[in-house]
Amino acid sequence: MKDYDWKGHIRDAFGDLCNTEWRMNFFSPCADTEEFLTSIWKMTTDVLEGKKIHVVIDNKDELYVNSGPSSFVLPIDTWEDWDDGESGDQLEGSEMQLPIKCWIHTMTLGDAYLSGDNWKTVRTWQPFMKSVVVLGDNQYLTLNMDNYREKKHTFQAKKVYFGLLTEDVKSVMDVDVYIDELEVKE
């Protein structure tokens, strides 16, 4: 799979997302957006064998895709001339346009979190960035940057885990009590 066009795969998944009736919302992703995010994670694990992937969606809905080793952090001072060092990922004749709609990146150890260097990037770019998504193994963390500007340095974040719901899972409402109440009403 080393010769697989993983950047093209991510771009195709994004194109599919743009052609849906849902509007892109990276803070509260719909199923179509989650499918796009999953395609990025799958490229990290299945094709790049654990390398980090960074995807930037600019104000024109153009994608800039980059990868590096698991220790790779997006250089905050080079987004204007972003290049992956191999083939170049700057779109021909196109410069990244601010504000950045979303910065998406994978955390190869599997847990979706913001490292210290990630926080430095977030704080530096917060005036020019709308959202951040960190992808982990069956989870993602989203960060609403608009909230940061409006709420005086408070970030609104959401972390989502994927898994199978089984009958033995209890929630705030005890399932057995609920079932008993339904049986009494019948």
Tell me the mean pLDDT per 10 residues along the chain, length 186: 87 85 76 91 92 91 85 57 46 72 91 89 86 92 77 73 66 50 54
Query: What is the model's pLDDT at position 85?
Result: 41
20: region left, alpha or beta (phi > 0 left; psi from -120 to 50 alpha): beta
* Tokens coding 5: 């066009």
160 bridge partner residues: 140
Query: What is the model's pLDDT at position 107?
Result: 93
Can you give the pTM of this predicted structure? 0.78
Give the single-character DSSP code of 128: G
Query: What is the model's pLDDT at position 83?
Result: 47
Query: What is the model's pLDDT at position 109?
Result: 86
